[in-house]
Structure formats: C-alpha cells, structure tokens
Amino acid sequence: MAFHEKEVPANASSGEKLLAWVDSRFPLTATIKGHLTEYYAPKNFNFWYFFGSLAILVLALQIITGIFLVMHYKPDAEKAFQSVEYIMREVPWGWLVRYMHSTGASMFFIVVYMHMFRGLIYGSYRKPRELVWMFGCAIFLCLMAEAFFGYLLPWGQMSYWGAQVIVNLFSAIPLIGPDLSLWIRGDYVVGDATLNRFFSFHVIAIPLVLVGLVAAHIVALHEVGSNNPDGIEIKENLDSKGIPLDGIPFHPFYSVHDVMGVGVFAMIFAFVVFFAPEMGGYFLEANNFVPANPLQTPPHIAPVWYFTPFYSMLRATTSEFLIPMWIFAAVMFWMASRGAAMRTKAIFAGILLALGLGFHFFDAKFWGVLVMGGSVVIFFFLPWLDNSPVKSIRYRPDFHKYIYGVFVVCFVILGYLGIQPPSPTAEKIAQTCTIFYFSFFLAMPYWSKMGQFKQVPDRVIFAAH
C-alpha cells in the first residue's frame, strides 16, 4: 500500500502542518475524534458516572508517585524499612509523595467499588457490554494483586505478617499447595527473596498488565457505547447523520462535567493526605510503623480495609460452617434443576455428592480459600446470572432495590468484621452475611426475573442540571 502524505492548504499554520504530518504517520486526530470529541455518550449521565474518570486519574497518580518512591526505596530485607523512613524524613517532600501513594491506594479501591456498584445497579454488565464488564473484573483482580504485593514493601510488622498469612493460604490447595506457596515466597519463610519478587511484580509486571487492561476496557466500552441510568441503547435512535438523538459529544460536555468531579475529589484527597493520612489506622496501621520482626507476632493480624470483606469470608469458613454450606449448595442445585432433564439432575446430584466428600476429606482452610477466591471470581459470571427483562434498577420491582441494599449492607458488615479480632458472635454474623453474599449471585437467575417491572421508555429521560 502506497504512502500518501496528508494534504494541507498552502496558507495553513505551522501547527496545522505539524498535525497533518503526524496524522499521515499516526492516527492522532482519528483517535481523539473516536474516543473524545466525536464519541457520543448518553445525555443523562449522573453522579455515578464520575468514578470511571476518577479511576483513571488515581491510576495515573499511583504510577507517578510510585516512580518517585522507587528512586529512593531499596527492596532489601535489611534496608527496606529504613529506606521508607528515609523517604519520610530526609527526602524533600518525600513524606507527601509517600502519603499520596498510600492514600491513593485506598482511594483507588473506593473509586473502583463505587464504579462497580454503578455497573451493578444500572445493568452495565448486560448485553452488549459483557466484555467491558469482564475487562473491568480483570482490572479489579489485578488491582488486588498490585495492592497486596505493594503492602509488603514497607517491611513493617503488619506488612510482614499479613504477607505471611496470605501466602500460607496457598498451601491449603491440594497436591500443589505447599510447592506453590514455597514458589511464591521464594524461600521457606517470608524474607528477602519474597520482598524482591513482590517488588518486581508491584513495580513492573502488574502495572503493565493493569494499563493494558484499562486500555482494552476503554476501547471495548467505546466500541459498544456507554450505558446510562435508564439502560436504553442510544445507538438505536439515530438522526439522518447517524448521530444518536439522545447522545452528546463527550468533549466538551462530559470532559467539563468530569472536571467538577475531579475538583471535589482533589479536595477530599488533599484533606486526607494533609490531615488524616493514616485515617485512624484504616489506611496505614500503627503496626506498620514498627520494623518487621519474624520473632514477634502482632496480637491481631488483619489486611487493609479493602481486603477485609473477602478476608472475613475466609475466617467465617470453619468446620462447623461446612454443613450449612452443603445445605446451601443443595438448595441452589435443587432450584437450578427444577424442570431439568433426568441427566441434568443426575449431574447435580453427583456434584453434591462430590462436595459432601470434599467437605469430609479437605479441611476448612481449603474451603475458606475457595470461598474467598470465589467471592471475587463470581463477578465475572454476572452477565449470565441476571435474567431481568430490564437493565436499570429504575424500572425493576421495589423488592429488587431491597435485595441490592441488603447485599451492600452485608458487604460493609463483612468489611468491618474483617478488621476486628475474631469472636464467636462476629463469626456467626460473618457466616450469615457470607451466605447472603453468595445467594445474591447464585439465586439471581430466579429473583432477577420476579415481580412487576416498569415500562422502559423509548428515549432516555433527561433532567437538565
């Protein structure tokens, strides 16, 4: 294919000539038009749609502050803690960069949780956005891995012992568990080898994957178009030029709209960084300001707050909890097999028998790891679990809103219990919340299509603001 230089008028400015030269060699203008100036988004976006752009902002912030921290950090078990103290006390503005990075980690999860919740209530995972949702879930998994690997790097007491507990969980996997945990640690105990490989994953491997997934997430989104609070596909109503009747260009309308969200976020972020960077021990624990000591275990080991809902499910899976888990699985399979062929019922019966034998041969630690992992992986299957005839919660029966509300309350309770020391009462509450958490997803094919649904309008409902 022959190369053609883009033509420009003879009286074009130097900037126009430069842009034409670039466009002849790289699709700069086409990319800007396709993903910004000529990307039409629904005109009824609301508060919930701030969090996508805020997630990109925090990702950029984490990468930039991380680069400056790496300049002074030493991934050495003997020097790591001292290097962090050096950053805080000796490096000019080092304390600010470190607090921005630690606060940014928590803010990232807050923004992502809000972003996922918006997708949940407005059905943004439904056709044709299944791949967009799956890319988003993969981003969430990578973000959890990135946060976990980075949590060890300060080499404080909670970093060391938290990593010790989490890595040892892999040993519960049958057959390959002990070798897998040994491979992850790089040694028989969490030490210098573990610190070096976690540093490599945190600084190089995971960020590369994360940036790639974010790019894929945005490209996939712009291919099928953004969802909206009404759950209406705006591409189904086009004018004579092929422009959505209910759409507006992302720039300048939503780029300016997002600037307001960024301003509010920046004020909250600055307040936390300058006045409460530890956030009462939720963002930075007091034990992490003490050097790692392999000979002294902290009285209570708990992960950072954004991991605690899943950690709480892990702790809730005890030997006594396996029986109600089997009953719960039996009920779910019975509901799924109603009206099915005998072959399907036989398969379900075989799975239940295998689960019963598994509960007998494998200890609660293994099932706890399975429950904790399953509580995250189950999000990937959400597009195929929801059988509701409408997408948005606006047009669903009222009892659906209560189910979503209880789900959020259970998630928050699990998060709170994961921070607290274990107790018999907390254990029962966590087990109840765990059962409801999985019931929300596994029973969704049934409750999502029940009730009286409201009529979805043909055009989006927009109120100027």
Q: Which residues are annotated as a binding site?
A: 101, 115, 202, 217, 222
Distance CA 232, CA 390 (A): 9
CA angle, residues 382, 388, 393, in degrees to nearest 5: 90
Tokens of 303: 């992960």
Residue 3: exposed, middle, or buried by beta-carbon count in 10 A (0-12, 13-18, 19+)? Answer: exposed
Contacts of 308 (CB under 8 A, 6+ apart): 302, 414, 415, 416, 417, 418, 419
| Beta strands, E only, 228-319 | 247-249
Which positions make up the binding site for a ubiquinone?
Answer: 222
The backbone region for 317, taken as left when phi is positive above 0, alpha when psi lies in -120 to 50, beta otherwise, is: beta
In terms of DSSP bridges, do strands 247-249 and 40-42 run parallel, antiparallel, or are they unpaired?
Answer: antiparallel
Place of tokens 């039996």: 330
User: Is the peptide bond prior to 294 cis by the omega test (within 30 degrees of 0)?
Assistant: no
Give me the long-range contacts of 95-100 (CB less than 8 A, separation at least 24): 96/273, 97/65, 97/68, 97/69, 98/65, 98/69, 99/273, 99/277, 100/61, 100/65, 100/273
Q: How far apart are CA 37 and CA 40, in angstroms?
A: 8
| Annotated binding residues for heme b | 101, 115, 202, 217
